[in-house]
Amino acid sequence: MKVLITGFDPFGGESVNPAYEAVKLLPDTIAGAQIIKLEIPTVFSKSGPAVEAGIQEYQPDIVINVGQAGGRSCVTIEKVAINLADARIPDNAGEQPVDEVLQEDGENAYFATIPVKAIVQNVREHGIPCHVSYTAGTYVCNCVMYNVLYMAAKKYPNIRAGFIHVPFAAEQAVDKANGMAFMSLDMIAKSLEYAIEATVQNETDISEAMGTTH
């Protein structure tokens, strides 16, 4: 089994992106699966094609995209991607779509096909906080999650795919306001490792209440 896991390059004025920095720390084999690591651009028009190039080159069974969500307190596993791009700031190529659909012939939304709740459970069982997220935003993270699930639905039906958001790394929080949430890169990487382990070991998700009350 092959797992393609991607992380974005730095954006929004940050010098590093903990997504790819954590991906680089992953072992080359997890739960018997080969781990293929790929950095992708934080650009609306280029992120999806970069992942598809990786799909065509490596023929993975699972694709997991990882991105930064500064301000979140732990790793969060995304459940749904929406067919909308609405950028508060320009991406790394200066693109700033506003109220644009990502795919004219796509569904309004796609659900992750990795076992979101099983992932959360496995990360927590290893003593690391983790939650389900029901919004991947409207920036490049949601864009790549949506486009990869769209591709899987249209062209690569054997691929299971999903998205994981990670918080700021500790070194990024040094010059942030007191109280800014962060995690060590090692803990972020361990969370990703346990997420991949759960994905490899669970073809279908578990049934457990992890929803929100708002």
Q: Is residue 189 part of a domain?
A: yes
Q: Please identify every residue annotated as catalytic.
A: 78, 141, 165
Q: Is residue 210 part of a domain?
A: no
Overall average pLDDT of the 124-151 stretch: 97
In whole numbers, what is the pLDDT of the chain averaged over residues? 95
150-193 pLDDT, tens digit per residue, is 999 999 999 999 999 999 888 888 888 999 888 899 999 999 99
Q: Is pLDDT of 70 > 80?
A: yes
The pLDDT of residue 58: 98
The pLDDT of residue 67: 96
CATH assignment at residue 194: 3.40.630.20
Q: Is residue 209 part of a domain?
A: no
Q: Is residue 120 part of a domain?
A: yes
74-129 pLDDT, tens digit per residue, is 999 999 999 999 999 999 999 999 999 999 999 999 999 999 999 999 999 999 99
Q: What range defines the domain where residue 121 resides?
A: 2-201
Q: Is residue 158 part of a domain?
A: yes
Query: Long-range CB contacts (< 8 A, 24+ apart) of 184-190?
Result: 185/18, 185/21, 185/22, 185/25, 186/25, 187/128, 188/18, 188/22, 188/75, 189/22, 189/23, 189/25, 189/26, 190/126, 190/128
Of 79 and 11, more confident: 79
The pLDDT of residue 181: 86
Q: How far is residue 98's CA from residue 100's CA, in Å, rounded to a whole number?
A: 6
Q: Is residue 27 part of a domain?
A: yes
Overall average pLDDT of the 3-19 stretch: 89
Q: Is residue 208 part of a domain?
A: no
The number of domains in the chain is 1
Q: Is residue 206 part of a domain?
A: no
